[in-house]
């Protein structure tokens, strides 16, 4: 896989790069800030977070959920590879395509979230920038770093349960709790409403 030099997006624990497979296909690589040479003990929490996201994401197969193509080492870092979404995030797409069928976008986002919930997955961080738009205008849910999965056959311990919340998309009960008690299907639905309202 060949990559480009600068990340196109940066998150709390990872950076996203645009890359190209050897056959020329454009892909996105979410590269965790953990190198393959580092002692696992130095980054145990980040490694567990990456393993959790990879496990949850690998179980998801739906047209409105971003597909995981595989795992790779990228610049000596662990990278999750997915198809390149050339139309960017939902807010970017709406801005550059103001006449798009917003109702249809919302219906498809609902279908993606319904699929996740029916398979026991709580997204946990649904917001406009975590909805990507494919080349043909199909919205796909992305970023499973805050997700939870019911009845996991693989148990992954969480070293740090306090996850950051994005206030605008967070259900009131999550904001009122003294400690982040964790996202639920209900809080996902609240976030879905906020996504649709801003679409």
Name the phi and psi angles at 77, rounded to 5: -120, 160
Residue range 45-83, pLDDT digits in tens: 666 766 777 777 788 899 999 999 988 887 778 888 999
Phi, psi of 198 (to 5 degrees): -90, 0
Give catalytic residues, as residue numbers.
Answer: 125
**Which token pair is 184?**
């639920």
Q: Which CATH code is given to the segment(s) 90-197? A: 1.10.510.10
Phi-psi region of 70 (alpha: psi -120 to 50; beta: other; left: phi over 0): left
Kindly report, residue by residue over 82-105, the tens digit of the pLDDT.
Answer: 999 999 999 999 999 999 999 999
Q: Would you state the pLDDT for residue 96?
A: 97
Asked if the domains 2-83 and 90-197 are classified in one and the same CATH topology, the answer is: no
| pLDDT reported for residue 161 | 45
* pLDDT tens by residue, 101-129: 999 999 999 999 999 999 988 888 899 99
pLDDT at 149: 66
Higher pLDDT, residue 174 or 139: 139
Q: Are the C-beta atoms of residues 17 and 8 closer than 8 Å to each other?
A: yes
Question: Stretch 193-199: mean pLDDT, rounded?
Answer: 94
Strand-pair partners of 15? 10, 31
With CA atoms as reference, report the closest residue to 131 among 149, 152, 107: 107
DSSP 161-193: ------GGGS-HHHHHSSS-----HHHHHHHHH
What residues does each domain of the chain span? Answer: 2-83, 90-197
Fold type of domain 2-83 = Phosphorylase Kinase; domain 1 (3.30.200)
Instruction: Quickly count helices (H) and strands (E) in the chain.
Output: 5, 10
């Amino acid at each position: 896989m060949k990559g480009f030099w600068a990340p196109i997006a940066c998150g709390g624990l990872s950076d996203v790069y645009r890359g190209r497979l050897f056959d020329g296909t454009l892909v996105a690589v979410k590269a965790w800030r953990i190198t393959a040479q580092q002692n696992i003990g130095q980054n145990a929490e980040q490694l567990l977070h990456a393993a959790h996201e990879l496990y949850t994401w690998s179980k998801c197969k739906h047209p409105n959920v971003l597909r995981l193509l595989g795992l790779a080492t990228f610049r000596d870092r662990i990278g999750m590879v997915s198809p390149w979404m050339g139309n960017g995030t939902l807010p970017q797409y709406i801005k550059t395509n103001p006449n798009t069928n917003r109702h249809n976008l919302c219906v498809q986002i609902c279908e993606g979230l319904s699929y996740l919930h029916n398979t026991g997955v709580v997204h946990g961080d649904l917001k406009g920038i975590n909805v990507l738009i494919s080349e043909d205008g199909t919205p796909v849910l992305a970023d499973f770093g805050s997700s939870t999965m019911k009845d996991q056959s693989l148990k992954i311990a969480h070293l740090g349960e306090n996850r950051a919340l994005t206030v605008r998309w967070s259900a009131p009960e999550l904001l009122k709790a003294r400690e982040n008690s964790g996202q639920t299907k209900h809080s996902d639905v609240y976030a879905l409403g906020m996504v649709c309202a801003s679409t």
